Structure 1
Amino acid sequence: MPELTSQLSGAEWEAVGPQTPAQRFFKAYVDTVDSAGFNHGSGQRFYAKDAIFHNQNGVHYVGGDEMWAWMKQLFNQFERLKHDYLRLCEIHGDDGTSQIFSQNVRNIWLPGNSTNTPSVSIPMSFVCRIGAADIPDTVEGLQFKEVWLYWDTKMLEPHLQRDAVVFLGEKARL
């Protein structure tokens, strides 16, 4: 029977840090996104070869290489990113996978913003299924098997062109 492994507020997460391998994996992923680590290496470090990523606009990306290519197109248009944690829950499944439900704020600095204040702060949620890796040299021996991402990209409309990758309702040309 699935079991609630932990439930942490953002303040608890910041104070005590990740408590399980799946949480350490998740934090390493978010830290990689925040540091633009998707600009080098392979997304297979985090995404299984058949992992499915469900974007908020109904577009699906498969596997780490496709994810890394999409993330480069999406995030390289920004000066920087930082994710703040509001709440994180982990449920351990009978099949050995973990489900992470994370509520975050995605802080985005648009080009030219070199201040400490983000240009836009967008509420978001990750729903992730994390399991044993299908290749060596991954964080904690884990990879994403499936990810659902929900964020209010409408908040970016005043700042980006209508054809920006974040708004596409079809798979971006990678």
Structure 2
Amino acid sequence: MKNRLAQLLLEKSYREGDFTLSSGRKSDYYFDCKPTALSPEGSYLIGRLFLDMLAGRDVQGVGGMTLGADPLVSSVTVVSWLEKRPLPGFIVRKQSKGYGTNQFLEGLGNFRPGDKVAMLEDVVTTGGTLLKACERVRDAGLEIVAVLAVLDRQEGGRENLAQAGYELSPIFTRADLVAAKAR
């Protein structure tokens, strides 16, 4: 499954050129996970691999920051149901609703205060977006016990997350994808 996902990611999500990342950094490659995560096979493989990574962990659900994590959360929730290990999901908004409950988290009604959750992210560069999402999740009363990503660009995100008390577990590092590309 992991080898097939690497092929799909390289085919659909990896581009070389001159890019500016959300962190403001310049890069000679860009990784947009959405085309893979929104394809039927890619969605299944990501959901399956993330669910496997969570096996044996006390986790009551998964979530992440919109928009990158939206298809990842959906993938895991559906695959978890099919595997009879149901995990509900939540999405962290970039801004609060501004009306009604004015909340940052959608899907919070599926959780109780203190529930243990895993954060999902498509690409980690510096970890800034992920750290902001983690703060909002903690503020909502949930406990983060795992942080998973499709790709760790290996540009400081793992270290920044570790300083905040989180261990990043990616499906792939940039080195993994470069090695897969060479094959």
Q: What is the TM-score of this pair, normalised by structure 1?
A: 0.26
Q: Counting strand residues as a fraction of each chain, which structure ranks higher?
A: 1
- Structure having greater relative contact order (Cα 8 Å, sep ≥ 6): 1
Q: What is the TM-score of this pair, normalised by structure 2?
A: 0.25
Q: Counting helix residues as a fraction of each chain, which structure ranks higher?
A: 2
